[in-house]
Structure 1
Amino acid sequence: MLSYDIEIRNTDSHKIYDKSTNKRINEGNSVKIGNHVWLGMRAVILKGVNIDDNSIVAGGSIVTKDVMSNTIVSGNPAKQIKENVYWTREEVMQYKIEEDASLNA
Structure 2
Amino acid sequence: MRRDRRPYFIRRLQNGWLRFYTRKYIAPAFDAVGPGLSVTSPRDIEIWGGNIRVGACAHIHASRGNPTRLCTWTTDGREGRLTLGDYVLVSPGTQIIASESIEIGSNTMIASGCYISDSDWHDTYDRTRELGKHAPIVIGENVWLGVRVIVGKGVTIGDNSIIGAGSVVTRDIPANSIAAGNPARVVREIDTSRAMRKRADLFNDPALGERDMDRLMRYLLRENTLFGWLRSVFSPTRED
Question: Considering the TM-score relative to the shorter chain, is it more than 0.5?
Answer: yes
Structure 2 residues not aligned, in runs of 5+: 1-108, 200-240
Counterpart in 2 of 1:52? 158
Which 4+ stretches in 1 moved above 4 angstroms? 86-90
Match of 1:15 among 123, 139, 146: 123
Counterpart in 2 of 1:31? 137
Give the whole-Å Cα distance in 2 for the aligned partners of 1:4 and 1:15: 29
Give the whole-Å Cα distance in 1 for the aligned partners of 2:181 and 2:146: 12
Secondary structure at the residue paired with 1:41? coil
| CA root-mean-square deviation | 2.1
Q: Contact 1:54 / 1:71 at 8 angstroms: preserved in 2?
A: yes
Residues 12 and 56 (structure 1 numbering): CA distance in 2 closer, same or farther, change over 3 Å? same
C-alpha offsets along residues 53-100 of structure 1, whole Å, 9 cap, x if unaligned? 00000010000110111100000000100013466569xxxxxxxxxx
| Identity %, equivalent residues | 39
Secondary structure at the residue paired with 1:73? strand
1:9 offset after TM fit, Å?
1.4
- 1:2 and 2:84 correspond: no
Secondary structure at the residue paired with 2:110? coil
Counterpart in 1 of 2:4? none
Q: Contact 1:71 / 1:85 at 8 angstroms: preserved in 2?
A: no
Secondary structure at the residue paired with 2:178? strand
Structure that is richer in helix per residue? 2
Structure 1 residues not aligned, in runs of 5+: 19-23, 91-105
Give the whole-Å Cα distance in 1 for the aligned partners of 2:165 and 2:198: 16
1:13 offset after TM fit, Å?
1.7
Larger RCO, structures 1/2 (Cα 8 Å, 6+ apart): 1
Aligned residues: 84
After TM superposition, the score normalised by the length of structure 1 is 0.71
After TM superposition, the score normalised by the length of structure 2 is 0.32
